[in-house]
Amino acid sequence: MSERDLPEELVLYILDLCFELPSEDFLRFPTPDGARKNPSRNADILLVSRRWLRIGSPLLFASLRLSDPEHAISVARQLKNNPGLGSVICDVRIEGDCGDDLGSVLALTPNIQRLYVALDQKNNARAEGLRRALPYINPREVFIMDMTRMLRAFPLFPWGRGMRADEAMAAVEHVIAGHWSELQCVHLGPCNEVTPSLSQALERANAARAQRSSPALRIKRQRASVGIQ
């Protein structure tokens, strides 16, 4: 029997087992006592045939990690060339500067449920890009990791207290306060603080939620791992 004889339902089941990546693993925070290991999925199995590539590609996109402008450009191109592929993306992890095409990616991912965003002082230069991109989505949960604060604990990163991700964080606070109506929970990573500006954003969001008779946002500070609601 060749792979062409396998029913598509069976191929999909096999690939789903190979690519299964629980949200709690994909969205786990790093901790000061040890860097997070990025879980990986072996996509080489899709090279078996074009049929397997067609069947399995949506499974790979269910959890999307973006970390640099070149990757964001590539993903935006794939989403534009494959209508409907963006609709399968549920979890997005943004780490680092993703450039101007971050908005192009998020505009094509209407069903994002959970967003992880790691910020450091380098993101400040792209704060306006974040401010434009983030309103395209409306997640139920957001995971915020202030890498600048955490890396101060390591002597290899001589970042003083003047090194902050305030402008990038302000872009996230902006959408929490006025755009993310479906948001239910804010997860704060190790070393993150509820700053006065974040507190104000949460108050504005909760005021709007009260008008809709929706429950207040839940705030969870994480130390080692996260639990998905």
Q: pLDDT (tens digit, 9 = 90+) per residue, 58-106?
A: 677 788 999 888 989 999 998 999 888 899 899 999 987 888 899 999 9
Q: Give the model's confidence band at 223: pLDDT under 50 very low, under 70 low, under 90 confident, else very high.
A: low
Distance, in Å, from the CA atom of 131 to the CA atom of 172, rounded to the nearest integer, reads 7
Per-residue confidence (pLDDT) for residue 215, from 0 to 100: 93
Per-residue confidence (pLDDT) for residue 200, from 0 to 100: 95
Per-residue confidence (pLDDT) for residue 163, from 0 to 100: 46
Residue 187's nearest CA partner among 147, 226, 153, 151 is 226
Angle at 203 between CA 197 and CA 204, to 5 degrees: 95
Distance, in Å, from the CA atom of 104 to the CA atom of 39, rounded to the nearest integer, reads 25
Q: Choose the most confident range, by mean pLDDT, from 45-54, 206-215, 220-229.
A: 206-215
Could you tell me what percent of the chain has a pLDDT over 70?
Answer: 67
Record the pTM. 0.79
* Three-class DSSP category at 49: coil
The DSSP H or E segment spanning 52 is helix 50-61
186 close to 218: Cβ distance less than 8 angstroms:
yes
Distance, in Å, from the CA atom of 160 to the CA atom of 119, rounded to the nearest integer, reads 16
User: Quick check: 226 pLDDT over 50?
Assistant: no
Q: Give the model's confidence band at 44: pLDDT under 50 very low, under 70 low, under 90 confident, else very high.
A: low
User: Quick check: 156 pLDDT over 70?
Assistant: no
Q: Give the model's confidence band at 2: pLDDT under 50 very low, under 70 low, under 90 confident, else very high.
A: low
